[in-house]
Structure 1
């Protein structure tokens, strides 16, 4: 009965997530998920023409693949609902909680994913997949995407228990980089290097990030080295017509992201929206991850958003404005008028 349930759930998820199985495959390959259910999910994933799995680079989002048609969203909703109903009846089913956490993470439901990983850790506190998954989901929920507190401690435990945990090593290095411990970050990523396929794009990317971390470790303190790299001065103001929509405690996000590529900001500043109008200077020091920064591209889209919820992800009712695409070596001020309401 239990195996039949998992077979049904796995097939439904595979059918409904033709575009979204890539992250699930990479999770399983990098972390060594339990057998049975996850073996079935991975088997389904591998026959779908979504190959070229690589090391999961921080908190990226799945990219839509041309030529693949998504199935109706209701299919995955039903599968998740069925899985949740099953877990209500069998709350001690570790593999069920891990599958739910993986699926919610794939759908970018990070709060639900972290909760499911919590249940997995309740059943198996030393489960490496759950520890790394919890840390990643927690970082995605945070406005600043920092990896610290319990998330950092779980990563340390996971890597200590399994020194070959590639995703755990990558995220641990990112946390160290975020905390400006560049020497430790480089050392952690050097532990990751031998685990990667020599000459692969992933190995090359990790090598580049080690060079960045080592350069910062050997340079002057980060607070004093902010003069290096691009500086984009952004002047932001709120359109008079939207002033009555500005709520107390709202957050202002000023960001620059790649003209083409992942939606993750290459630089982002968070302020209190009450500071409007304001001027912000975006630099490499404001990158969310060492491999994604202003100096890594030639052009960026610069924008600003007022979030009543304080969340970094856009929500209906947020106030927005854009300056369009500019070169990263743009010297003059970039002006943005926040004059739209996010639908």
Structure 2
């Protein structure tokens, strides 16, 4: 049996007609799956090689917060501007708390981003995820409005299309698309008040709910939000889900850079004296070298920077050091059996 208990399966959270904010917190134990039952008496083995993300930043946040940085991912030699984690702040977004319980201004921005995606990358699939059913409906309305002017967009955004989906957060387990647009929706109301009630994120297990949408993209995710991390603050968050949202808002606003251990830093780190010697020889030859390039447990020891094209590496160098000896694939290459 294969599954991930760090991500939440679909629940009956949206099955009632009540507002998300009116439903009391419940324990998710009533919705536990066969996987959870089996884990009580069966041995668990973690599958560590992550295949989906074309850019490490897409999985780095979850790898850090949920998987102890044990997922093995691989650095991209080119920092492609069309890949990774993006943040779109809707500064004039307002949450209609008393009536529609949606954010129409933010929904318009999401619909416009969907149009831009279709126009630039018609061959790439797109998924739109909203934090609530009401926000998903608002986005659907705005796409329909745009579709009258751009009929091809309406065709692209057809329900049940393999190229597109538009769903609320609770219903995307198992889905994946090339690009994902994630709409928070919740924001300050027309009186300027921000309630830290983010629907399902406030409930027990809310952090697992957020882990689902932020890991659905293969190439790019854009977080669309009318609030920034500072609006929540590190001390106001009372639940794990809201605290994680605060962290992800910071992470997305930094373009996937604000995360401990992420990418590379200017601090030199070497696994062996031999690796350090190689570094100094290359620097003496005039090359700019980054050490330990990557976001996961697997790092490229030395990366040779392309001075003519910032953000691009000319060469990755793996040295015979500690990481080499500890890697099972390395043992396979040299014919050494694990002890």
Q: Same fold (TM over 0.5)?
A: no
TM-score for the superposition, normalised by structure 1: 0.27
TM-score for the superposition, normalised by structure 2: 0.27
